[in-house]
Copies of this chain bind each other. A is one copy, B any other.
Amino acid sequence: MALSPDSKNRRVTIKDVARKGGVSTQTVTRAINDMPGINIRTKDRIRKLAEELGYTPSRFAKGLVQGAGSCVGMVVPELTNPYFHAVVSSVVHHATQRGWQITLNEYPSDADNMMLAIEQIAAQVDAVIGWSGSGLAACQRVLGRRPLVLLDPEYPGAAGEVSFDYVHAAQLTLNHLISQGRTRISYLDSSPPQGLSVRAQAFARQAGELGLPLTFLSAEGSAKGARTAVSSLTETNLLPDALIAFNDVTAIGAIKALAAAGRSVPRECSVIGMDGIAIGELLTPELTTVSIDFNEIGATTVQLVEDLLDGKVPPGAMEAKRTLKYHMVLRQSS
């Protein structure tokens, strides 16, 4: 019943158990960890005693002596977003196979304060995986030697980077839309602080090369935001005949808005998402999307962290920059 022998709620240590049991700490270790070389009766007695006293081995002491698998912090802007979720799942999957731990942290994406989240976990992790806008240098400073691997980085400079080939994605989508005979194409982006985002620029460039006019819309980066933005568009005569959304969630919002306005998708307006999250398939109409292989994201990211941790790849080196390609998934919405 009692949680600790003294009234102070000091942690119960192996010594407490040893003392109360009239044995050495060594014997307690042997009992607790099922090690050989201990009388079964002593073992039972000590285990029972430990249980009574409420003894739990300190993970720190244990780790200090025996070591442990790597522990990687994952710092995510919006955990409720299915895209981030898909990446987390994949990373966890691959990390688990290596016996690593992934510790998850969330920060409000509006406040761009990945830093605060990193500060919170820095002391207890060996590396950090995150997404980031600004404040990169400060984050690396907090982490010291521990590598920071950024996914879809906006600015260069992290120890490791996993990027997406937006130029290739633009080729895939634009060529597809051209083949469909679409002429008034818009790219629907989340509102960047200023100018065009990296991905929007890739689309702009690619459209330029194809001699295709491409307009840009911006919406708050959620289904609701896209819905609002596209709704107001449907009231005008300026509705494009194809919409490329910067992610699937936004594409879904756009489709909802078009449906609500009685516009047929894809007949009147083709909609293409980006990401390839699982729910795209469950929608009506099913979502056409340029998809990234989430399993590959996890595999690549975890491998990169491992290489960095092992010193096989120096932080910031060319080999620490890895790029993933999209592929087209044709379904109903385009």
| Cα-based distance from A103 to B92 in the complex (angstroms) | 9
Which B residues are CB-close (under 8 A) to A279? 82, 279, 282
Task: State which residues 114-142 of A face B: CB under 8 Å.
Answer: 117, 120-121, 123-126
Stoichiometry, copies per complex = 2
| Cα-based distance from A308 to B56 in the complex (angstroms) | 14
Interface core residue of A62, A105, A282 (most chain B CB under 10 Å): A282
Which B residues are CB-close (under 8 A) to A93? 79, 106
| Cα-based distance from A3 to B124 in the complex (angstroms) | 21
Candidates B55, B146, B256; contact of A145 at CB < 8 Å:
B55
Candidates B60, B102, B103, B145; contact of A60 at CB < 8 Å:
B60
Which B residues are CB-close (under 8 A) to A244? none
Query: Is the pair B92, A96 in contact by a Cβ cutoff of 8 Å?
Result: no
Query: Is the pair B62, A58 in contact by a Cβ cutoff of 8 Å?
Result: no
Q: What does the 1/0 interface line of A184-207 toward B look like (CB < 8 Å)?
A: 000000000000000000000000
Shortest Cβ distance from A139 into chain B, in angstroms? 15
| Cα-based distance from A99 to B124 in the complex (angstroms) | 12
A71 within 8 A of B: yes
Which B residues are CB-close (under 8 A) to A71? 59, 103, 124
A57 within 8 A of B: yes
**A residues bordering B, Cβ < 8 Å?**
1, 3, 9, 32, 50-51, 54-64, 68, 71, 79-80, 82, 85-86, 88-89, 92-93, 96, 99, 101-106, 117, 120-121, 123-126, 144-146, 223, 252-253, 256, 259, 278-279, 282-284, 311, 314
